[in-house]
Chains A and B, each alone.
Chain A
Amino acid sequence: MAEKARVEAVAFANESRERLFGTLHRPANPRAGAPAIVLLSPGVKMRVGPGRLYVPLTEMLNAKGYTVLRFDFFGLGDSEGELQESMLADVYNNIEVGRYVSDTTSALRWLREAHGFDKFVLGGLCGGAITALLTAQREERVTGLLSLGMTVTLASNAAAPAKFMTSHQLDSMRQGYIRKLLRPGSWLRLLTFRSDYTVIWYSFKNMVARKRPQAPAQPVAADAPLEQRGNANPLFPPAFFSFLQRGGRALMLFSGKDRLQAEYVEKFATPYAAQLAPFAPQLREHVVENANHVLSFPEWQREMVDVSRSWIASLEGA
């Protein structure tokens, strides 16, 4: 019978001396010289990820000989500390600007000092992905980025959501409104002022406006005014290029029915196409068709795991 991977409960301190709790998953047959892989928590969900997304990913990585650490950031999951925000969007926004880079650095230090690892792959969904990238920008020992649903925007600007929606999102919203035309409940919402008129307006305006030829989007400086920058995260482009310039390799996996994929294309990949081109060999992009943000159905999870397996094999020659 094949040996099983071993799991143990662990805790280590961050820079504020708060204890962070996690689980360390060791392979039955460790791969010599392999990086440790740290899967970072998305949003406020804890270290297993929504729908326990990180469980099959961890099992695959263990089977390929990699050690995996999953842990909770301060104020979340089982870890110590308290968050002061009262709204989820503000928590998300603070994650997107790097709140948990320091905790991730503490995790890497702990893996280095307690377990002897000297290189790492960071991975995660959404908030976990941007935290991975912002850490990779600072930590040269991070050689790979396993990004699931990278977010290139800031959540707090969602106060004016329609203004910053992608064409894809507005198309989707408009189709939804058209489907609701025959539903009395939808008309009741509209007539009792419970609908978001701004979104309705922008979605139909987009249909007309898109018929005119548009100039391709251009890169916008990180310190540009909000009106030019929209809801794009100014920290993303410099972090991504910094990571690529020092040879980092990334799997950029998105879900087909997730706004994050359209945002990545419209707000980053298209305007920065010329700058991205030289790094194409270091990037692997994959879209799981029809999948939702959290890859909840098993077939979507399996595809994510299969693509990750193939990518990690190409990364390390596994």
Chain B
Amino acid sequence: MRSATSRVSPDERGEHAGPGTRVGIESTETPFFFERGDAQLFGIVHEPVKASDTAFLMSHPFGEEKLWSHRVFVSFARELARRGHAVLRFDYLGAGDSTGSTADTSLETHLADLGGAYAWLRDRQPAAQRVGLIGLRFGATVAALFAERMAGDARIAQAPLVLWDPVVDGDAYFQELLRSNLSTQLAVYGKVIENRDTLSDKIRSGATVNVDGYDIGRALFEDGSKINLASAGHSHSGPVLVTQIAAGATAKLREDLQGIASAYPRGTFQRCTEQPFWREIKPFYGRASDLQKSSLDWLEQAHG
């Protein structure tokens, strides 16, 4: 592993503690690569000088949503580190600085990547009794499925699971991705040359379809389209937060997310007001203040 550690103190970052935050704890941030099979995955671990017994693993969204939301992840990880938690952020196969292409990914590779990152963090932070999962959009969905798979591992089973605007209906989500391909066709050719049915058929026949620079292959498309988080298992015994991210305070409450939260033994549903910072919007999102505060407040209440 090659890495370069950077020591970060809250004052040097010029950040300000929000209401209810504790005095910041100095931490280090270390970028590195770790191996998962033939792949090299990129990660950054945030490590407080004195870490608590709960660490966190963050699961980013798919495709360009990862880039738009990246700084929100960084800000949240730094805030958790300031509160004494070790945090690992990493890039899935075919994303960010990790090797591979999204064409080679599937739901299974995502789960395996998350498993590899968890194993790395567990080895790095052996004193962590719990490893919480935090995900956004498709990353939240993968985190929820991973938590089910790891129900026999006490470190994860008892730890918080935070799902920010998870993808509930995989089929609808992948159709939405294909719509982005149609938008690109419209913008450059002035018309749709291949409609969604054609694109779906192409993928099913083994070809790839590009969405905003990311190739989607058969395995990810077919497995991903079958996901239905509402009917998936909800046995995670630790506290679970399901957050609806809505652009306005008057937005209708999402019943599907409320249903998922209530299906967990210790589930909580929250709605917070943020622009969809995982897409290109006019504001610059260095952090998602409402999401960050509501999530941190919930973590304090649920977990101490």
Is B6 within 8 A of A91, CB to CB?
Answer: no
**Cβ contacts under 8 Å, B5 to chain A:** 11
B97 touches which one: A23, A81, A175, A301 (CB < 8 A)? A23
- Chain A residues, Cβ within 8 Å of B23: none
Q: How far is the CB of A289 from chain B (nearest CB, A)?
A: 9
- A38 to nearest B CB, angstroms? 16
Complex CA–CA separation, A99 to B212 (angstroms): 27
* Residue B33 interfacial (CB < 8 Å): yes
Contacts of A257 in B (CB 8 A): 187-188
**Contacts of A88 on B, CB cut-off 8 Å?**
280-284
Count residues on chain A whose CB falls below 8 Å from chain B CBs: 47
A50 to B283, CA, bound (A): 18
Q: Is the CB of A81 within 8 A of B187?
A: no
With A9-B3, A292-B188 given, is the CB distance from A19 to B33 under 8 Å? no
Across the interface, do B284 and A296 meet the contact criterion of CB distance under 8 Å?
no
B70 touches A77 (CB 8 A): yes
CA gap between A103 and B261 in the complex, in Å: 45
Chain B nearest CB from A292 CB (Å) reads 6
Q: Closest residue of chain A to B4, judged by CB?
A: A11
In chain B, positions 18-54 with a C-beta closer than 8 Å to chain A are: 29, 31-33, 40, 42, 44
Q: Are A50 and B67 in contact (CB under 8 A)?
A: yes
- A17/B2 in contact, CB under 8 A: no
Residues of chain A with a CB closer than 8 A to B104's CB:
none
Interface string of B8-22 (1 = CB under 8 A from A): 100011110000000
Q: Is the CB of A87 within 8 A of B33?
A: no
Chain B, Cβ-Cβ closest to A18: B12
Give a binary string over A109-137; 1 marks a CB under 8 Å from any B CB, 0 the rest.
00000000000000000000000000000
A225 interfacial contact with B, CB 8 Å: no
A77: B residues at CB distance < 8 A: 70-71, 74
- Determine chain B's interface SS by DSSP, over half rule: mixed
State whether the Cβ of A298 lies closer than 8 Å to any Cβ in chain B.
yes
Considering the complex, which residues of chain A in the window 42-65 have a beta carbon less than 8 Å from any beta carbon of chain B? 44-48, 50-53
Q: Count how many chain B residues have C-beta atoms less than 8 Å from C-beta atoms of the other chain.
A: 41
Q: Name the CB-closest residue of A to B94.
A: A52
Q: Using CB atoms, name the residue of chain B closest to A291.
A: B188
Q: Mark B55-91, 1 if CB is under 8 A from A, else 0.
A: 0000000001001001100100000000000000000
Query: Chain B contacts of A291 at CB under 8 A?
Result: 188
> B284 touches which one: A19, A47, A78, A83 (CB < 8 A)?
A83
- Return chain B residues, CB-CB under 8 Å to A23: 42, 97
Q: Does A7 contact B (CB under 8 A)?
A: yes
| A86: Cβ under 8 A from any B Cβ | yes
Contacts of B74 in A (CB 8 A): 77-78
Measured in the bound complex, the distance between the Cα atoms of B13 and A112 in whole Å is 27
Judge whether B215 is part of the interface by a CB distance below 8 angstroms. yes
Flag whether A82 is at the interface (Cβ < 8 A): yes
A10 within 8 A of B: yes
User: How far, in whole Å, are A7 and B98 apart by their CA atoms in the complex?
Assistant: 10
Specify which chain B residues have a CB less than 8 angstroms from the CB of A50 in the assembled complex.
64, 67, 212-213
Given contacts A17-B12, A46-B70, contact A294 B213 (CB under 8 A): yes
Extra inter-chain contacts (6) besides given A296-B213, A301-B213, CB under 8 Å:
A8-B2, A45-B67, A46-B70, A77-B74, A294-B212, A296-B184
